[in-house]
Structure 1
Amino acid sequence: MSKASDPLGSPAADEVVEATDAGELLETERMVEALIFASAEPLSFAELSKRIPGGRDIRGALNRLRAFYRKRGVQLRSTEDRWSFRTAEDLSFILYREAVEQRRLSRAALETLAIIAFHQPVTRAEIEDIRGVSTSKGTLDVLLETGWVRMRGRRRTPGRPVTYGTTFDFLDHFGLDTIKDLPGLEELKGAGLLDSAIPASFHVPAPDDSLDLTEDEDPLEESEMFTTGALEEDAGEK
């Protein structure tokens, strides 16, 4: 029945065939595109043929996709009939990889980080009292550079020493939802980090990493907030 004689306006047979062919072509392109995109290595025409149902025009799909991607940021390339997606050569100037240098923290830095995490907000003098040895400015500088420690403010005591605390990056790196997820007394004992014969009065402190300053902290001066290293302490801190 022709389209003109069909009172319901149903598509003619040749139009149905054309639509079916177009749908199959698009489906073939999608299959080819997905296989190449998901592959870690370039795929040959033979490999594509094995994965895609028989009777489909794979070569035509490859050529249409190559034409479609020709002016895109990602292009379909063929080398010895092995196909892969590659970034456009003229965009190489914006593509680079940053190599992250892995640095091992010294024992002093690890001890200082642990003290800051558990005792924050804490000053350099308080860190030294807990460790029993002096803490160099360089150790604090390293921790500030990692982004795990920040300068919070200044303690309202003689010398107005800087107070230190941890950051969101610290929580993220160590897989903690909040600072309250730090290991408690029993967990530290179980890990062998505390002597089982510790005094009964010993307790694990409750750290505060809130962005709000405590009652005994003053905010840093505006010029101090943009300092990359640890601030020099006033002589009167101790």
Structure 2
Amino acid sequence: MKQSEISCFETGWQQHSAPTPETSIPQITLVPVGIPPKMLAALQVPNKPSMRYVCLTYQATNCYVEHICGGHTNSFWVYSAFIDHFAVAIHLIGCDLGSDDSYPTYGLLLDQQQNQVWLAQYSHIKKFLKNWQSYAYPEPKLTREQQEQISKKGFEKLMQSVKEFRQPSPKELSAIVEASMHQEQDAIAAITAYLDAYLPEAITIAQRRVAAATQNQDREVMSYLSLLLARFLNKYQNN
């Protein structure tokens, strides 16, 4: 369901369509899988309206998670369970989501509301997130005095939080780490089980791509597909 914004002016009502990935991002591709259960929770992303759109890339030697409220690094293993699964990886051929040696040129945009996964150039995704933030949560027009009051109150709240912060004990810290590791392992198992259901379709797509690459003598794609298929066969033969 498309969102829309209705604004009232002296001249009457004006309606503006909400930006959506398919209408706002050029050369975007819908990856034919949904968002695996438990994945975003393990990446510390709650399912709420302000976090509807989430971008995943690899930066700073880890998974990088972005939304309109900011960005943070998180579990590489949860990220890898998703993007390296055969059902997803077959759709990412030739798309650099980032590595230890490269800045991402592509990213995955997840729509929590529609349960969709989109693939697009990273720069376009970042622009979309900015535009969607301006649409969904526009900054109010404030006077200079109001801005100063808000900044002052925000600083006072921050300082109060610093004063109230209590360093967890070694036992508490150990419990936090153990709970985080359990959540990560649970998420990886859930992601794998969910994506396994898409394997028959992914294998069919791989066969078509192998045939096309062979006919076009595309050695780069053939090399990547061979590696992907070998990794896939090795994984499931050992299970």
Q: TM-score range by the shorter chain?
A: under 0.3
Q: Which has the higher contact order (CA 8 A, sep 6+)?
A: 2
Q: Find the structure with the greater CA-based Rg.
A: 1
